Chains A and B, each alone.
Chain A
Amino acid sequence: MNEDGSLVRLENIHKWFGNNHVLKGVDFSVYEGNVVAIIGPSGSGKSTLLRTINLLEEPTEGRVLFGGDEITDIRTNVNKVRTHIGIVFQSYNLFPHKNVADNITLALRKVLNMDQKGAEERARDELAHVGLAEKADAYPAQLSGGQQQRVAIARALAMRPKLMLFDEVTSALDPELVKEVLDAMRRLVDEGMTMVVVTHEMGFAREVGTRLLFMDQGKIVEDGDPRAIFADPQDERTKAFLAHVL
């Protein structure tokens, strides 16, 4: 737990890609049980912000605190921190040379040092959880996009993380496959998982989010209750964006 009672705390985060200033001083905290939806126009820095939380992007400036530790400190064992933070990507990123079960058990065995049997059991459990128990022996290329994304969710959950990050996980999916992935995420919300979700699914953000962040040009413009923001956005840019996408 961080000093302010949050699970994750970002302090004055700046990120430069070359001469491109992508994040311009972001401060925010995620508390246990929060379901934070981040929306905003493309290029606003949503994904970069999300990826900063597990240090896939190292902030150029600023601090990231997780469970009381400053993980931006170069002496922190990032590998250890990452076992507590699950992430699901837009492009699934399953390991194509491993079958579904091995995709899940790899980190369980090599990182958590579970034995083969225990790892396989947990993989089966997690697969059953996302409704893919029968696909354990399939290779990713044999699955639909929706199924692959659910495997990716199961793979992340098998590590029993304290926090789950979702990076536009339905953006690459055909429309008819979006629902099965959103359903899997809804179940997670019901179970009380702490989540940060970058999304274009406004309905999902409004329905299940306990907090909504609107980002534009590398800054958080609005932060509050999703229903309140959707009903009555305060900032001009939020108004314009919502008018455009809704």
Chain B
Amino acid sequence: MSQTIDKPPVTSGPTAPLPLGIFSAGIVALALVLGGVFFTQFLWASQDRELSAACSERMTASLPGEEPQLLKGGRAVCHIVDALKSDTQAGLLIAGMVVGAVAIVAGFGLYKRMPNKRQRNQSIAGAVLGIQSIVAGSLILLFRSGDVLVFIRNFLNLTFLEGSLDGFIRGAKNTVILAFSGELLGIAIGLSLAMLMISKHRTVRAPAIAYINFFRGTPLIWQLSFFGFLFLLGFQWRDAVFQQAILIFGMNMGAYSAEVFRAGIQSVEKGQTEAARSLGLTYLQSMGYVIVPQAVRRVIPPLMNEFVILIKDTSLIFVLGLLATEYDIFTFSRTFFSESRNSTVFIGTAAAYLAITLPLIWLVNRVERRLRSGLIGVAG
């Protein structure tokens, strides 16, 4: 038996040459501005063009008694600088901004006269893309008008990234271990604190509130320094900085997770507790079998958000002094920087953090949508 699914009719209407043209103009404008940068860069690098005198002069060092030598990565840096400063680049930017301006004027001028939704939306989209191309184009023009060489030499000298890959991979692994272990511990501490927080007895609530306020009210970097020294000097707990850091991250996350769990527990309808208690379940049973399982589903997205925050905050571990094998992404980057004396490594740092956090952020949004859509999240 085949079942046909009725679909709602499409009411946005057909497009027409004029709005399609405005939309295309917006696309072309943005492509000229952003694509133009990549195009010129690709042109200069792939053709290995002659270096400009202005750049090669500044990228050359001459020690007394030796032949003048191009600095490390000098060719690549000069290609970037020369391409950016070229007339080709300027022409592409200005062309893009002009097309963008046309799209803005036409799009905003005509969208109200468009006969249907699709054509109106295309006009507006074209104009918005035009605005984006003008903003982006102006910023790039502003940037290339300055002394780009110094910046590019220090931050986009990719030659200096050589040999950093292994370190980044190990750093990423350690960062994830630190954050994940800290988060797990934080969840355990947080759930326990939340149970105390919802008590009707003030004597039970008070210590939990004190703990939470303390850890939320002091900087994580202070907690790392203070408790790090406490463990090391006070408890004579040596050679375990990594484990101590996990403990401190967990203690800190516990305070934040407690608030998340408390809100989650209190968001479960009062009727659920009443139904459970009316069946003769004790307070703890109704918490354990009825309330907390529902609360946990609701707090998954905020807990994952905390996990993303903790991944970034693990960078503060540098105050503790780790072994080379224990380096997280940030500590590794700092060390690598102090050896290479070039900041380009920090571009790699951002890439490494993003490689971990972007998939997580995507996942949080997905889970959130699923939970909001109801049935699956509740029943699953």
Contact = CB atoms under 8 A, between A and B. Distances in A.
A97 B277 contact: no
B280 A107 contact: yes
A213 interface: no
Nearest to B272: A93
A79 B283 CA distance: 9
B376 to A, nearest CB: 10
B142 interface: no
Contact of A110 (B272, B274, B278, B281): B281
B271 interface: yes
A56 B274 contact: yes
B272 A141 contact: no
B277 A56 contact: yes
B378 interface: yes
B268 to A, nearest CB: 10
A87 B282 CA distance: 16
Nearest to A111: B280
B281 A79 contact: yes
DSSP majority for the B interface? helix
Interface string A94-126: 111101000000110011100000000000000
A6 to B, nearest CB: 21
Interface string A64-94: 0000000000000001101101110101011
Contacts of B374: 141
B271 A97 contact: no
Interface string B260-281: 0000000001011011111111
Contacts of B290: 95, 106
Contacts, number: 74
Contact of B280 (A56, A80, A91): A80
Contact of A79 (B275, B282, B375): B282
Interface footprint category on A: 20 to 34
B285 A82 contact: no
B375 A110 contact: no
A142 interface: yes
A89 B277 CA distance: 13
Interface in B60-98: none
A39 interface: no
Contacts of A86: 278
A94 B277 CA distance: 13
Contacts of A93: 269, 271-272, 274-275
Contacts of B375: 139, 141-142
B297 interface: yes
Given A82-B277, A156-B278, 11 more contacts: A79-B277, A80-B280, A91-B271, A93-B272, A96-B294, A106-B279, A106-B281, A106-B289, A111-B279, A159-B279, A159-B280
17 contacts: A79-B281, A82-B278, A83-B280, A89-B271, A91-B269, A93-B269, A93-B274, A97-B294, A97-B297, A107-B276, A107-B281, A139-B375, A139-B379, A141-B374, A152-B275, A156-B278, A156-B279
